[in-house]
Amino acid sequence: MPIQPIRLFGDPVLVTPAAEVVDFDKELRRLVADLTETMIDAPGAGLAAPQIGVPLRVFVWDIDDNLGHLINPSLDLSDELQDGEEGCLSFPDLRYDTPRAFSVVAKGWNMHGEPVVLEGSELMARALQHETDHLDGILFIDRLDSASRKLAMKEIRESEWFGLAKEYGTTPEIRISPHNPFGKSL
Ligand code: CO
């Protein structure tokens, strides 16, 4: 169950919609284990399969001592919204205020093919939305208004890691420390 390199913004896999999981087999359980181990190592609060280069609809989270995974998710979003900072492991050291629904009901499957229904609010809801977006090839900067997105893109272009995704494919050694103390990325 090796730790996988995390793909950085600029890698095409991050903007490509992922495929539904069809086989709930040993390989899927290995993917969930790899995602979990990679997220904990980062450390992060959530990680989606495309972020380790696997274009399948699977993600994991580690929030408030609650470690979990979800496969082929669909979300019902509350009308109530929340504001707050959000980061992404594919955008090292960058965080932006990102509007999200305050709470969600997520439906999907666990790695054994059993149906799962989850309810989450605040950070858990934010993580479920962020990770489900990853499976649709949507990144958190896409959720910013155009002025904020423009500022974010400027900062991204000036970051140490920008361009490395294209140059090397992956950059596991570029992990920048210390991590932001205000919260882990997703
Ligand atoms: Co992310």
Whether residue 119 lies in the annotated active site: no
Domain annotation covers residue 168: no
Domain annotation covers residue 102: yes
| Structure confidence by residue, pLDDT tens digits, 140-161 | 999 999 999 999 999 999 998 8
Annotated active-site residue in 86, 114, 119, 131:
131
Average pLDDT on 83-101 reads 95
Domain annotation covers residue 185: no
Provide the mean pLDDT of the chain. Answer: 91
* Parallel, antiparallel or unpaired: strands 46-48 and 58-63: antiparallel
pLDDT at 132 over 50: yes
Domain annotation covers residue 153: no
Where in the sequence is the domain holding 139, given as residue range(s)? 12-144
Domain annotation covers residue 130: yes
Single-letter amino acid code for the residue at 167:
E
Domain annotation covers residue 157: no
Q: Is the dihedral of CA 104, 134, 30, 19 positive or negative?
A: positive
What spacing in Å lies between the alpha carbon of 130 and ligand 1's midpoint? 6
Supply the Cα-derived Rg of the chain in whole angstroms.
15
CATH number at residue 121: 3.90.45.10
| Lookup: tokens for 95 | 């965080």
Domain annotation covers residue 94: yes
d(CA 87, CA 141): 9
How many structural domains is the chain composed of?
A: 1
| Structure confidence by residue, pLDDT tens digits, 12-39 | 999 999 999 999 999 999 999 999 999 9
Average pLDDT on 42-53 reads 96
In this prediction, residue 182 has a pLDDT band, given cuts at 50, 70 and 90, of low
